[in-house]
Each structure stands twice: as C-alpha cells, then as structure tokens.
Structure 1
Amino acid sequence: MNNMLMDPYGRVITSLRISVTQRCNLGCIYCHQEGENSNSISEISPKTIARIVTAATEYGVRKVKFSGGEPLMRNDFEEIIAALPELKDVSATTNGVLLSERAASLAKNGLNRVNISLPSLNKEHYKFITGSRHGLPRIMEGINAAIDAGLTPIKLNMVLLKGINEFEIDKAIQFASRFDGNLMLQLIELMNFKNTSQYTVDIETVEKMLESRATYMYERRMHRRKKYFIDGVEVELVRPIDNSSFCANCNRMRLTSSGKLKPCLMRNDNLIDIHEEATVPEIKAMLERAVQRREPYYKELNSKNMILLKT
C-alpha cells in the first residue's frame, strides 16, 4: 500500500473522525449521531483510541477530529487527547455547553481547536432546535474560554433550517465579526437523517446572497466548498447533499463510539469491529481491510459526476 491507506477508487485516507460517545446533553432535531444507529452504551477506551491513531499515523494520517454525541460528556476526554501520538491537527466538535470549564485543560493536553455548534443566537429558536433553555449563555462563555485557551480558529457550525434560523445568517456574521478573526462561520446544509425535510432551506438562494455580499470568495476544489469573506468574517458553505465532488474525494475514516471502523458516514453494513485488546499491528490490518470496503456513496446516484479530483 506504499504506506498509504488508499481505497479501490484511489482515495487516500489522511484523517480520522472519532466519535467518543453517543451521550449528549442536548437533543437537536437534526442530529445524525455520526451515522451510528446503535443504542450501545459501551465506549471505546483512551488506550484503544491511542493505539488506533498510532496505527493510522503509520499510514500518514496526521489529523484527528473528535465528535459524539457530545465529546465533553466524557470526563476522560483530556486523557484521550493526552494519550495520542504526535499529530499535525487535533480538533473536536462540541455543542459548547460544557466548554468554559474545560477549554484550558483541553488545550493543555493537546487539543488544537474546536468547532462549536451554534444553530441560533435567538433563545427561543435555540430552545426549539436543541431542547435546551439554558445552553445559549453557556456557549457564549465557552467561546470566550476557548479563545483565551488558544483553541482557534473556532468554527461556528450553523445548520440552516427553513422557517427557524434561515434569516439569522447576517446576525451570525455580525456576531463572529466581534472576535477579531478568531471565529469562522460554517453554514451547513441540512442532512435529512431524522425526517426533517420540512426544514430544508433553498441552498441556492443562500449561495446567491453570500456571493452578492462577499468582498472575496474562492472554492475549495477538493470538497466543492465555497468560502466567502464578508465584513471581515470567513464564511464557508457546506453542501453535503448530492455533493459528488465531496464524496468522490472523501479522505476520512470514521471510528464509532463503540470501536468500529466506519468507512462511510452513510453506511452501516461494512463496519469492522476493533476489540479493546487489539494490538497496533492487528489494527493496521483492520485499517487495511476497512479501506478496501470504501466506495463513494453517490457513485450510483450520480455516476456521471464521480470524477476523482487530484489534490
């Protein structure tokens, strides 16, 4: 394999996305639980995560992103980060509710940056989306604590929802502009995992609005993501739905919270279970088997556009 994890379609794995728990302290209406459909409460141990990441680094993987559920629901999350081998980039996606108390310790143990889910700055909208009355003020505290700890640049993740937050984009940009370049805004197209199609926004209209306001823009060729610079804020439009370029160039292997390698977010029929006693050589063999099971999810739905782009 030439010390690379390359699938049969020529896509090389360069990053891991690791779900460390299915537990969460919010109940967002659109949550897809990283594609997990299991009700298992077992959670992979810090030592096993470290062995998996160590095995992956021997194939050139240098980026790891942690997610959940909510990763800060794990009291040993700092231990998980501290046990990792040397990497280029270690990040986490969090809802931010518990971040203010732990931002400094997370940074001290090796976390580089965070993505924070911020679906709305309106208290009532936030409550409807997340089920929480009190989360929004705590997120504000978490953002400030993360900046103080150097967990920047912080990406604010805003899943766009028709009739709820679709008219809050300008407000979100204004909010991000107050933090001297430490905040970026990601506007994310809704993925309909939980029968939420009634909230689907016309993403083309959003794109045209951003284009009209941007002083500068460019497109990340590999993932077909456009970045807009508006009022000093970097705004990225994330369009996962029917994005054949994104799918064709996916460079990510996922790991479920119960310790299963997941070659594709959209599938659960090709997982490989990594048991807690697995050694690094055994995990390397499992990674090789997993990567051979990878295929672009949209290759049959959009076969004419499945052209792998060179990066």
Structure 2
Amino acid sequence: MLQDSFGRRFYYLRLSITDVCNFRCQYCLPDGYQGEAQQFLSLNEISTLVNAFAQMGTAKIRITGGEPTLRRDITDVIGVCANAQGISKVAMTTHAGRLAKLARPLAKAGLGQVNISLDSLDPGQFALLSGHDKLAAVLDGIEAALLEGVNVKVNTVLLRPFAKEQLRDFTAWLKEMPVTVRFIELMETGQHKTFFKSHHISAQPYLAQLKAQGWTPIERSKDAGPAIELAHPDYAGRLGFIMPYSSDFCDSCNRLRITALGKLHLCLFADQGLDLRDALQSGDVAAVKAFVTDSLADKKVSHYLQEGITGITRNLSMLGG
C-alpha cells in the first residue's frame, strides 16, 4: 500500500491522457488551447502505469484531461484500466460534449462513473462560461450515461456573481435527477490570478444553508475524493462541496496524479512533476513502483493555496484538476 510520511494512504490515481481541450472555460482556458503537438502516453505506457499502481494498492483510477474524449482510443484506455487486476472502479472527468454517442461503448469498456464539468443550467450562462453553446449536448450526455448505468456526478465551479443562481438551479434540478452535484470553490492557478481574485467565493455559507434546510452529510468511502456530500429525503440527487481552502482539506488526501506526458505530481499544486516516462516506455512495472514509492517521501503535508502559492499548475487543463 502506498503511504506517505504523514500516514496518508493512496488508493486513488488521477491519470491525464491529454492536456488538449476544445472548450474555453473562463477559469481554465478562456483563450482556447494554446499548447503545441505533443506525444501523450501511449496505450502500452498507460497499461504499464495502471498495472504498477494496481500492484501498489490503487483501487480507483480516474481518467482526466484536458478533455479525455478527444483521444480516439478513449474506450481502449478505459478498457485497459478496467481490466487491470486490483482496479475496482474506473471513472472519467469530461465536459460531456461528446458523451451522448460515447456513453455506451465507454460503459461496455468498464467505465463506472463519470464526472461532468457543468457550471450552469442556463443556456446563455453556460455559453458565457464555457465558450460554447452546447448545454443541450451535455445534458444529452448525462441522460445517455444514466441509461447505461454509469454513476454520474456533476462538478460546478462556484463563481461570483453566479453562485446563488447556481445553487438554486442545481438544487431544483436534483428534485428528480438522480445525480450528485458538487460545488467546487474556484482554485487559483498560475495563469488566472486576476480572475481568481474577482470570482472566488467561499462555499461555507452555502453548506451551512443546506444543512439548515435538512440536507445531511453522508459517509465518505476510502477511495472517494475530498467532497463533503449531502442527501435529503425529498430529493432524488445529492449535493456536495469541495472546499480546498478549508484548513483540513489535505488531511484526507488519498490520490496521486500523472500527467499526459508521464510525470508524477504529488499534489495538484506541486512545484514540479517527477518524470516517469523512461520506465513507462520500457514497460518496467518494477521501476515504476520503486520510483513512486521513493517519491512519496517528498509529499508535503498540505498545499499552500491560502498563501497564493500555486506551484507549477498554470491551468486546470494541465492536470485535470
């Protein structure tokens, strides 16, 4: 079992397979993707990586980007993860613009959960925030995933001045919609410090408001992310909050990250990525295991977002959040 010097155990791997995204979300890539052509991890490299982590106790893998569905081999990637011995849950984060036609093959390949980035249920506001008039396509993707039996969670970045509308609209939506909506506090990144200062808002008052309305916290599984999730007997869906600026946010850290170029990041806001590519290209599972185990000695007790230190993370597309 992977464990750091603070006793935290790591059951969960977030694996980026591309940093390319075709949306232009204001808090991430407002000017669109500006990167150059790169050779992202191949299917064989992904297989080596996944099997190494599975042998070290990883039970859950989340495929991220960029936008992972832009990879033509996305169903093969999901299949490699799902078929690795020891991996019990395969998830993916996506903007869902292409999910309606991909939900069935992805589910057949072994996708069990999908997290959908969706910041508004209002078509005009959605287009403003994402840079695309594709709300209908995203909602169709959600329906398609549910029909295939895939667990659906929706990630919504709380933004000033939209937060009250976001909470109102998504709460009403959950009356009949059996999904989980998690409100995420906007996180500062290297390229978007000005946007952060004008749009960040704390989730704490909204969490307190929902608790006062009868929403109650539910127990978090060992491979779950950091969200506080709540249920209400009168609603089909659940609500949650991810609050990276809370003082105890990193206490329950249980995940590591790999970039699409094969670099290990011990934290979303680490100062550097640690290069695993040689071991991955040679298919050396033992070398990957040794590298990751040794590297964990350098994992810090916390990020330093409260101090405005964002590390190497220029934007969230780099690592998939």
SS in 2 for 1:177: coil
CA contact 2:263–2:273 (8 Å) conserved in 1? no
What percent of counterpart residues are identical?
Answer: 28
Q: Mapping of 1:171-210 within 5 angstroms?
A: 171-179=169-177, 181=178, 183-193=179-189, 194-195=192-193, 196=195, 197-210=197-210
Distance 1:279 1:215, change over 3 A: closer
Tell me, in whole angstroms, the C-alpha distance in 1 between the residues paired with 2:207 and 2:137.
31
Tell me, in whole angstroms, the C-alpha distance in 2 between the residues paired with 1:282 and 1:204.
43
2:243 to 217, 220, 239: 239
State the one-letter code of the partner of 1:295.
K
Tell me, in whole angstroms, the C-alpha distance in 1 between the residues paired with 2:36 and 2:63.
19
Match of 1:212 in 2: 212
Match of 1:137 in 2: 136
Q: Mapping of 1:1-311 within 5 angstroms?
A: 4-31=1-28, 41-84=38-81, 85-86=84-85, 87-133=87-133, 135-152=134-151, 154-179=152-177, 181=178, 183-193=179-189, 194-195=192-193, 196=195, 197-218=197-218, 220=220, 225-230=227-232, 231-232=234-235, 233-241=237-245, 243-275=246-278, 276-298=281-303
CA contact 2:226–2:252 (8 Å) conserved in 1? no
The alpha carbon displacement at 1:244 in A equals 3.7
Tell me, in whole angstroms, the C-alpha distance in 1 between the residues paired with 2:227 and 2:11.
18
SS in 1 for 2:164: coil
Distance 1:42 1:54, change over 3 A: same
Tell me, in whole angstroms, the C-alpha distance in 2 between the residues paired with 1:299 and 1:119.
26
The alpha carbon displacement at 1:200 in A equals 1.3
Distance 1:245 1:219, change over 3 A: farther
Tell me, in whole angstroms, the C-alpha distance in 2 between the residues paired with 1:81 and 1:220.
24
Distance 1:38 1:251, change over 3 A: farther
Let me know the Cα RMSD of the aligned residues.
2.4
SS in 2 for 1:106: helix
CA contact 1:270–1:293 (8 Å) conserved in 2? no
SS in 2 for 1:51: helix
CA contact 2:188–2:305 (8 Å) conserved in 1? no
The alpha carbon displacement at 1:299 in A equals 7.6
CA contact 1:17–1:67 (8 Å) conserved in 2? yes
Distance 1:289 1:272, change over 3 A: farther
The alpha carbon displacement at 1:40 in A equals 6.3
Tell me, in whole angstroms, the C-alpha distance in 2 between the residues paired with 1:160 and 1:281.
42
Distance 1:83 1:219, change over 3 A: closer
Query: Aligned pair count?
Result: 290
The alpha carbon displacement at 1:215 in A equals 4.3
State the one-letter code of the partner of 1:102.
L
CA contact 1:47–1:80 (8 Å) conserved in 2? no
State the one-letter code of the partner of 1:117.
S
Tell me, in whole angstroms, the C-alpha distance in 2 between the residues paired with 1:175 and 1:66.
27
State the one-letter code of the partner of 1:162.
R
TM-score computed with the length of structure 2 as normaliser: 0.83
CA contact 1:261–1:274 (8 Å) conserved in 2? no
Tell me, in whole angstroms, the C-alpha distance in 1 between the residues paired with 2:62 and 2:127.
27
State the one-letter code of the partner of 1:171.
D
State the one-letter code of the partner of 1:118.
L
**Cα offsets for 1:124-170 (capped at 9, x unmatched):** 2111111112x101001101110111111x11111111113432212
Question: Gaps (5+ residues) in structure 2?
Answer: 308-321
**Cα offsets for 1:57-86 (capped at 9, x unmatched):** 111111101111111011101111112303
Question: Gaps (5+ residues) in structure 1?
Answer: 303-311
Tell me, in whole angstroms, the C-alpha distance in 1 between the residues paired with 2:98 and 2:305.
41
Distance 1:270 1:131, change over 3 A: closer
The alpha carbon displacement at 1:268 in A equals 3.5
Tell me, in whole angstroms, the C-alpha distance in 1 between the residues paired with 2:173 and 2:19.
30
Tell me, in whole angstroms, the C-alpha distance in 1 between the residues paired with 2:249 and 2:78.
28
